[in-house]
Amino acid sequence: MATLIDSPEAQTAAASGEADPAFRADVLACFRDTRRAIPARWFYDKTGSELFEAITDLPEYYPTRTETALLERYCGEVAQQGGAGRTVVEFGSGSSVKTPHLLRAVQGGHYVPIDISGEFLRESAAALAHDFPGLNVHPLEGDFMRPLKLPEAIANEPKLGFFPGSTIGNMVARTSLDLLRSMRETLGVGSLLLIGMDRIKSPDILIPAYDDAQGVTARFNLNLLHRINRELDGTIPVDKFRHVARWNDSYARIEMHLEAQDDLSFTVLGERFSMRKGETIHTENSHKYGPRDARLLLRAGGWTVRHEWTDPDDWFALILAEAKPFQTAP
């Protein structure tokens, strides 16, 4: 049987009913500012994580099925390009539905899924451990936006970071760079990173992917307000907000917002806030990248591209990059 190795820190966090202090700080900062925005990572409580998995099955949401097809086809080449035998460290693992393709190809002895949603993380890690006899699974609950200390058991193992889903697109440029540099520090020089990046394409394709006909994405977005009410003693009238998705061509990104349908007043942690009709809370960005954009971003973050795979329509790219020692000259 595979071994599921849970950390004491994760067990302590799971036992605590307290809201994350960073969540409190981000939400209060949002409502105190006139340009209201909440980092997208706070979508992913258990309900949010489950709703996102439902989004990935929607007919309008092309990224998951396109990337999964690339993984099914090319993970063998990832192993040939240097990934064979490496410990896979997945950043933001979610349900880990794409991960088996990589694990089967790489055939390493350890897997470290990292996610901010502890309960969802442990459930998916346990399921994966059951499916891979002989694999040591080390779920690590934490915010991978900062450097993390990996389990001692893999300290000297060669590592392959895995960051699928074009999650890098959820971040503004400076945050993307910070994350890539943090990943480099977490994994170490000589490590590899397999990352998914969504390509720039027509808004006629993009907008429905983030505003589906069944309303699942709307429920996912609105769940953030439910989470604030539940964890931060909020009184936000969720039914007075609507989900909005729009294409911002200047920044090459889809934006998701929650728009107030009336003049509103509510409290969070006892502090009173108000919003005018038509004002929004900016909840997510999804930046799209051309081939040169992607390579430039990775180089700036300390990663050198080894190989790149795309689908026939060039809608999505899988990129394998290496954390080489820094050089003072080309």
Q: Which fold has domain 61-201+290-322?
A: Rossmann fold (3.40.50)
Tens digits of pLDDT across the chain (330 residues) = 344 554 444 444 444 457 889 999 999 999 999 999 999 989 989 899 899 989 999 999 999 999 999 999 999 999 999 999 999 999 987 666 789 999 999 999 999 999 877 777 888 888 888 899 899 999 998 888 899 999 999 999 999 999 998 999 999 999 999 999 999 999 999 999 999 999 999 999 999 999 999 999 999 999 999 999 999 999 999 999 999 999 999 999 999 999 999 999 999 999 999 999 999 999 999 999 999 999 999 999 999 999 999 999 999 999 999 999 988 766
What single string gives the DSSP state of each residue in 104-120?
Answer: HHH--SEEEEEES-HHH
Which residues lie across from 141 on neighbouring strands?
A: 115
**Which pairs count as long-range contacts for 148-154, CB under 8 Å and 24+ apart, including other chains?**
148/114, 148/186, 150/89, 150/112, 150/186, 151/5, 151/7, 151/110, 151/112, 153/5, 153/110, 154/87, 154/89, 154/110, 154/112
**Selection from 298, 302, 309, 307 nearest residue 324 by Cα:** 302
| Domain parsing of the chain, residue ranges | 21-55+206-287, 61-201+290-322
Q: How far apart are CA 242 and CA 145, in angstroms?
A: 29
- The owner of tokens 């439902």 is 54
What per-residue confidence (pLDDT) applies to 117?
A: 74
What per-residue confidence (pLDDT) applies to 133?
A: 87
What per-residue confidence (pLDDT) applies to 94?
A: 64
Q: Are 265 and 281 in contact (CB under 8 A)?
A: no
Q: Are strands 253-260 and 264-268 parallel, antiparallel or unpaired?
A: unpaired
